[in-house]
Structure 1
Amino acid sequence: MRVSPFRHLRWVAIPFHSPWNRQLGRAHSFRHVLSSPVPPPALHSRWFSASSPNRLIRNGDSTIYALSTAPGRAAIAVVRVSGPDCVPVYQALCPKSSLPRPRVAAVRALYDPASEDPSSQAAVLDAGALVLYFPGPKTVTGEDVLEFQLHGGPAIVRSVLTAIESTSADGREIRYAESGEFTRRAFMNNRLDLPQIEALGDTLAADTEQQRRLAVRGASDALSKRYEQWRQQLLYARGELEALIDFSEDQHFDESSDELISSVASQVRVLSRQVALHIQNASKGELMRNGIKVALLGAPNAGKSSILNRIVGREAAIVSTEEGTTRDIVDVGIDLGGWYCKLGDMAGIRSEPSGLPGDGVKVVIGAVEQEGIRRARARALESDVVVVVISVETGFDEGEPYQLIVEPDVVDAANECVRAGKQMIVAINKVDRLPLQDRSEPGQAPHELALKVNKLFPEVSRRRIFGISCLELPNELELEPEITTWPTFLQGLISTFEEMGTPSGIEGDASGQYDRSYWEDSLGVTHRQSSNLQRCLQSLDDFLEQTTPFSHDSSHDTSSVESEVDIVTAAEHLRYAADALASITGKDESGDVEDVLGVVFEKFCVGK
């Protein structure tokens, strides 16, 4: 016997004129209400102070103000006031002037309300401030907003802030805003949702073009609308299952129970794939937001430090002909073609003994260098892109005028990175040592050297092998300018970043159901949102496993799915998934009884 999850609730009659009955068009409707007392609206989580979760604040009872621009000396400083007492604040500071028209800037003289004669010339705080008034609710906070654009001298700003605070009288509470309180009020008044608030932080922290684009995508409400649409789909699917539990024995359905469960499972399976793609794109968005880690991996004296200095445009690492000058990791952040990346120069990887063949030289690797090598391998495995640096050295016989110097330990470390799923680029350094006839186009690796690299690193494609030089290459014609290999190499790096940042789902959407922006928006998913999407995906997978327990056993009779499915548990999995989506946008939990029953009655009870 199936047991409804609403068994702990009691039934109460609703008057005919209630909105619930008007919606259903029935004179005899019922709904579930909790047998335990429902907390009053004031106890909603949105009413708690961010700085003190145990302290309640009442939206609209207090007026807050703050300096909205950076502190310090500047040409202009903006002071913003939000709350029900914006007009009294204005009247106290501008007693001689009428309130400006809404959303129209006006020049006003600001006076000190605490002065004996507030309208005297001696009481002037700022003789020429720009004042704007925005009546709610269509404002940034959803409340009345007053904005003063002052001359940015510290004394003027300080005096105006003090004057605003002194207007607290007659029971009015006017106080300096807590950290993030303007944004919190915008959230409480449904002017911003949680994804938009998180994107606001990304907007303020954006340093590169890609970070700016990511923040702009997140600032729109596209993600919130999508998650709310998914939540409504799950709510509707759960309502169908609840109807199957409560009414299957005494109601007539247009489709059988097995068909209904199969239909819901099919919808959930499509949604599960979409959520999974969003999670994949969230990790790509984190690369754009936090920076792409690039590791320069190679043997000592391969030219890693020279490459780092050349890319960043300054002497960030020590360059010397002496081997092993780099022991620790040198990390440098740089904006490369709009992508923020963290370049890491590391200790050269070599084994003991070391030295060129035939010279009889043995170098003992000390404890410090061994630790540097260990850190270099660890840093490469933590990176997103590994640039393997191989140097061209002079050959030791006439038949081989030059050769590639590759340490076996470098090959092992690089292949370990490939197995870990890292993107790899090979830079053949010091191609200026090659004879002119053996050089290819600037930045392109010579064909013979590229073949040797392919044998060492078969997973690396030809387009990711570059010939570079930290010196300018002289042209065969003296009248021609010198040739540089760097544009091709840097463009190769940027192309790799672009491939890594391409959102999943674009290539697989052959049906054309979604445009490119649909998937690009998902790059703005933050770590918090991704964690909730993981919870949602796990619940959806649990639901699919619950509703199709024998899909992998062809010998099992699947003609009656309903007899094998615990619908109550399956419906709970949908509730957990919807709750995870609600946590992303900050909306109430989807387990609301009235919402679920609304779907039940709308689908199966209207007109019956």
Structure 2
Amino acid sequence: MSADTIFALATPAGRSGVAVFRLSGPRSGEVLETLTGRPLPRPREAIRRRLFSSAATDEHRILLDDALVIYFRAPASFTGEDVVELHVHGGPAIIAAIGKALSAAGLRLAEAGEFTRRAFDHGKLDLLEIEGLADLIAAETEAQRRQALRQAEGELSALYESWRGALISALARMEAAIDFPDEDLPVDLIALVDETLRVLAREIETHLADDHRGEMLREGYSVAIIGAPNVGKSSLLNRLAGREAAIVSARAGTTRDVIEVKLDLAGYPVLVADTAGLRESPDEIEQEGVARALKRAEFADLKLIVFDGAVWPDFDPAIAERIDEAAIVVLNKAEFVADPDPAIAGRPLLKVSAKTGLGLDALVAALTGRAAAALNPGAQPALTRLRHRAALERCLGALNRGRTAPVVELKAEDLRLAVQALGRITGRVEVDDVLDLIFREFCIGK
């Protein structure tokens, strides 16, 4: 654990009403006394203090600002160290002057995520809680905020630690069977352990069979708009976005690359992508655009397949073949459509008009319903990262091997591997190889 004292601006750079500097380390209190020329305030109490450029004994010291200061005494702080917060006026000149004074006092500017790394090192947060905190800072929608907050407050950690505790108890029984074979141990000890492994394996299998809801909620529900050229895909994207995100032109083949916008639909993050019109073309650039469109559609969570109402009932059968359960089928330019109930191969089409707005509410409702069904995590906290899933799959594999292991020594080894896999998720074992990746997600000052 580091013995130096660090500082950083914990609020965004620029002009604001209030800016917050955070200090952490053994010299935090000493530096606060130096800058204020006053004794430390009582811990966890916000108090008004004037901040100066140097110690009170320096006759050339300069008043920097009139601020609120808070002192947190270790270990009752975010990092577990002595921590100071300086709530100052958010002018660029004030921020620069206080940063200069802190550097002159011998403090080091923190690296990205270093405050949170120190919280982990001092046992204030585990890795799951830290990742939840990073997601909370990055959350753009209500559903993302709720999921991140559940993880940051330890719901996922509690679930995994309960599994880990049960495995450690089972492992202790196995160790007893190995080390004390002549003792009067329960005759059904192995059967009890196997039952524990069976129950845990079933719970982990259920947890993994979540259709990647938590991961999709972090990243956003992916929707690809596809269709022939000039059916109004770009106009539809602009309508959904409420702005001119894509170029609209009567010239076929205008859209060459994938253009993506972020939507917040009832709190769920939805990423809608406009793609190149699907057709045969001698133009190499347009061919690449079509290839990207097809690839985007292949990996999208949902396809928005658009047909042209101006030429209805004519349509490209090759595009109609792409209609499946992961698709909403739209007939754009509905103002030209006389058919009250248009359909393709028995599949109803949603009539909309990107020009007039007709049917847009119904389309948004359909998109929202699909996103909610796919992303709602339910009562149990959701998996949010690939590394969690990989560790749980390793744990599950060890449990299944342990249930069929022919000797107690092999069963105990599989139990140890299962415990280790769960511990790597929360940081209860050596995890140096994943720490840097996790903490890089944070900004300076956090």
TM-score (norm 2): 0.88
User: Are 2:265 and 1:406 equivalent residues in the alignment?
Assistant: no
Classify the secondary structure of the residue corresponding to 1:297.
strand
Classify the secondary structure of the residue corresponding to 2:16.
coil
Classify the secondary structure of the residue corresponding to 1:212.
helix
User: Are 2:207 and 1:265 equivalent residues in the alignment?
Assistant: no
- Does the 8 Å contact 2:177/2:185 carry over to 1? no
What's 2:395 paired with?
536
What's 2:356 paired with?
472
CA 161–373 in structure 1, closer or farther in 2 if over 3 Å, else same? closer
- Does the 8 Å contact 2:268/2:375 carry over to 1? no
What is the alpha-carbon distance in structure 2 between the residues aligned to residue 216 and residue 166 of structure 1?
A: 38
Counterpart mapping for 1:536-575 below 5 A: 536-544=395-403, 546-547=404-405, 565-575=406-416
- Equivalent position amino acid for 1:386 in 2: K
Gaps of 5+ in 1: 1-46, 48-56, 169-173, 352-363, 395-402, 440-445, 474-483, 504-515, 548-564, 591-608
1:275 to 180, 195, 204: 204
- Does the 8 Å contact 2:65/2:89 carry over to 1? no
What's 2:365 paired with?
491
What is the alpha-carbon distance in structure 1 between the residues aligned to residue 94 and residue 352 of structure 2?
A: 57
What is the alpha-carbon distance in structure 2 between the residues aligned to residue 181 and residue 329 of structure 1?
A: 37
* Per-residue Cα deviation, 1:407-456 (whole angstroms, up to 9, x for no partner): 122133445xx6xxxx2111122222234xx54xxxxxx2xx24x342xx
- Does the 8 Å contact 2:29/2:83 carry over to 1? no
What's 1:161 paired with?
99
What's 2:263 paired with?
334
- Does the 8 Å contact 2:303/2:328 carry over to 1? yes
What's 1:389 paired with?
306
Q: CA deviation at 1:334?
A: 2.8
Q: CA deviation at 1:534?
A: 2.0
Q: CA deviation at 1:238?
A: 1.6
Classify the secondary structure of the residue corresponding to 2:277.
coil
- Equivalent position amino acid for 1:430 in 2: K
Classify the secondary structure of the residue corresponding to 1:343.
strand
CA 472–589 in structure 1, closer or farther in 2 if over 3 Å, else same? closer
- Does the 8 Å contact 1:282/1:527 carry over to 2? no
- Does the 8 Å contact 1:125/1:160 carry over to 2? no
What is the alpha-carbon distance in structure 1 between the residues aligned to residue 336 and residue 260 of structure 2?
A: 29
User: Are 2:23 and 1:81 equivalent residues in the alignment?
Assistant: yes
In the comparison of the two structures, how many residue pairs are matched? 431
* Per-residue Cα deviation, 1:183-211 (whole angstroms, up to 9, x for no partner): 11111111111111111211221222222
What's 2:424 paired with?
583
CA 108–589 in structure 1, closer or farther in 2 if over 3 Å, else same? closer
* Per-residue Cα deviation, 1:210-240 (whole angstroms, up to 9, x for no partner): 2222221211111112211111111111222
What is the alpha-carbon distance in structure 2 between the residues aligned to residue 205 and residue 193 of structure 1?
A: 19
- Does the 8 Å contact 2:236/2:354 carry over to 1? yes
Q: CA deviation at 1:365?
A: 4.8
What's 2:174 paired with?
241
Q: CA deviation at 1:282?
A: 7.7
User: Are 2:386 and 1:527 equivalent residues in the alignment?
Assistant: yes
- Equivalent position amino acid for 2:278 in 1: I
- Does the 8 Å contact 2:74/2:81 carry over to 1? yes
CA 182–318 in structure 1, closer or farther in 2 if over 3 Å, else same? closer
Q: CA deviation at 1:344?
A: 1.7
Counterpart mapping for 1:124-523 below 5 A: 124-168=62-106, 174-248=107-181, 250-256=182-188, 260-281=189-210, 283-350=212-279, 365-393=282-310, 403-415=312-324, 423-435=326-338, 439=340, 446=341, 449-450=342-343, 452-454=344-346, 465-472=349-356, 484-503=358-377, 516-517=378-379, 519=380, 521-523=381-383
Q: CA deviation at 1:127?
A: 4.3
Q: CA deviation at 1:128?
A: 1.3
Counterpart mapping for 1:25-174 below 5 A: 47=1, 57=2, 61-95=3-37, 97-113=38-54, 117-118=57-58, 123-168=61-106, 174=107
What is the alpha-carbon distance in structure 1 between the residues aligned to residue 211 and residue 415 of structure 2?
A: 23
* Per-residue Cα deviation, 1:520-549 (whole angstroms, up to 9, x for no partner): x224x32222221222122222223x24xx
Q: CA deviation at 1:589?
A: 6.4
What is the alpha-carbon distance in structure 2 between the residues aligned to residue 589 and residue 143 of structure 1?
A: 22
- Does the 8 Å contact 1:203/1:215 carry over to 2? yes
What is the alpha-carbon distance in structure 1 between the residues aligned to residue 175 and residue 288 of structure 2?
A: 62
CA 92–491 in structure 1, closer or farther in 2 if over 3 Å, else same? same
* Per-residue Cα deviation, 1:93-140 (whole angstroms, up to 9, x for no partner): 122x3322222211111223267x53x6x6233341111112221111
- Residue range with higher mean Cα deviation, 226-235 or 319-328: 319-328
What is the alpha-carbon distance in structure 1 between the residues aligned to residue 376 and residue 17 of structure 2?
A: 42
Classify the secondary structure of the residue corresponding to 1:522.
coil
Root mean square deviation of aligned Cα: 2.5
Where has structure 1 moved over 6 Å in runs of 4 or more?
none
- Equivalent position amino acid for 2:131 in 1: E
- Equivalent position amino acid for 1:500 in 2: A
Gaps of 5+ in 2: 432-446
- Equivalent position amino acid for 1:94 in 2: T
Q: CA deviation at 1:67?
A: 1.9
CA 406–540 in structure 1, closer or farther in 2 if over 3 Å, else same? farther
CA 350–67 in structure 1, closer or farther in 2 if over 3 Å, else same? closer
Q: CA deviation at 1:336?
A: 3.1
- Equivalent position amino acid for 1:380 in 2: A
CA 328–129 in structure 1, closer or farther in 2 if over 3 Å, else same? closer
Q: CA deviation at 1:262?
A: 3.2
Q: Percent identity?
A: 39
Q: CA deviation at 1:313?
A: 1.8
- Does the 8 Å contact 1:75/1:152 carry over to 2? yes
What is the alpha-carbon distance in structure 2 between the residues aligned to residue 432 and residue 328 of structure 1?
A: 29
- Does the 8 Å contact 1:330/1:346 carry over to 2? yes
- Does the 8 Å contact 1:86/1:144 carry over to 2? yes
Q: Which structure's CA Rg is the greater one?
A: 1
- Equivalent position amino acid for 2:242 in 1: G
- Does the 8 Å contact 2:224/2:303 carry over to 1? yes
* Per-residue Cα deviation, 1:436-486 (whole angstroms, up to 9, x for no partner): xx54xxxxxx2xx24x342xx6xxxx6xx522122438xxxxxxxxxx311
What is the alpha-carbon distance in structure 1 between the residues aligned to residue 254 and residue 285 of structure 2?
A: 11
